[in-house]
Amino acid sequence: MASELVIEVRGLRKSYGSTVAVDGLDLEMERGEVLSLLGPNGAGKTTTVEVLEGYRRRDAGEARVLGEDPQRAGSAWRARRGIVLQTSDDVADLTVSECVRHFAHFYPDPAEPEDVIERVGLTAKSGSRIRALSGGQRRRLDVALGIVGRPELVFLDEPTTGFDPEARRQFWEVVRDLAKEGTSVLLTTHYLEEAEALADRVAVINKGRVVATGPPAELGGRQSAPAEVSWLGADGWQHSKTHQPTALVKELEATFGGEIPGLTVARPSLEDVYLQLIGVSNEEGARK
């Protein structure tokens, strides 16, 4: 495996009885990258991540994470990766500070617990019992526990579930700071705007395989797809798809003699491309 890769997966397979969860999946992730996994429920994201974290055995294929096979790696390797699970309900009687300090003892070179608590926005709740925290505050604590060990690679599994919009954007800054420090981040999320805001690349998983990868702005040919130009004409709203939107806008400007009423120019959104890749029409997606 090339030294710059923190994750390399080839032909990963995993079944549960007759149900195939992961079906020959290939995936790579570079050091310092923020990679977001996208896909519908049941696509194989969770199983893939659990294999990479070392919590689930694969049936076939190859996997290397931080240079080792996660299925065989030991405690030293585990200390190099951080995990933010979807829930953690077994420490409800501890305070936030006690919990983070307790988890810090599991690592050879942890960050200062109070700095981590501040980083995730829980300083005001440092002395509060975990059972008294709101859902969003619990998620912030989960994140603190995932990063207190100064990991080289962080697995973030739906990290902003339960966050309000302001808290979600505050958390995005935490992820950006981690990336600036050189931490690699593997993010699974159902929020497409979150993937677009944070990820260097996204990988779309469907039916147990990666069906597309690339920067969010380029996924599925977004940057070269025809733009839809819309404007308000004499007969109502007009729409035209074109690969040359600038030329069309100039024509419209000449026609209207200046400002073009209601002008919008839009290329396919990440949601449009994502729904197409997983085989869901925009109408179906709107109903879900």
**What are 59-87's pLDDT values in tens digits?**
999 999 999 999 999 999 999 999 986 65
Coil, helix or strand at residue 232? strand
Pairing of strands 201-206, 34-38: parallel
Higher pLDDT, 26 or 161: 26
* Candidate from 11-20, 96-105, 134-143, 203-212 with smallest mean pLDDT: 134-143
Q: Which amino acid is at 276?
A: Q
* pLDDT category of residue 88 using cuts at 50, 70 and 90: low
For the record, the structure tokens of 56 come out as: 């689930």
Q: Do 227 and 267 contact (CB within 8 A), yes or no?
A: yes
Of 121, 192, 190, nearest to 157 (Cα)?
190
Q: Do 70 and 63 contact (CB within 8 A), yes or no?
A: yes
Looking at every residue in the chain, the average pLDDT score rounds to: 90
Q: What was the pLDDT predicted at 3?
A: 52
Q: What is the mean pLDDT of residues 181-191?
A: 93
Does residue 288 register a pLDDT over 90? no
Q: What was the pLDDT predicted at 286?
A: 45
Q: What was the pLDDT predicted at 89?
A: 61
Q: What is the mean pLDDT of residues 88-110?
A: 88
Q: What was the pLDDT predicted at 282?
A: 47
Of 257, 191, 144, 145, nearest to 38 (Cα)?
191
Does residue 185 register a pLDDT over 90? yes
DSSP string, 94-105: SBHHHHHHHHHT
Interatomic CA distance for residues 146 and 264, integer angstroms: 43
Interatomic CA distance for residues 34 and 204, integer angstroms: 14
Interatomic CA distance for residues 287 and 46, integer angstroms: 24
Please give the model's pTM, rounded to 2 decimal places.
Answer: 0.82
Does residue 138 register a pLDDT over 80? yes
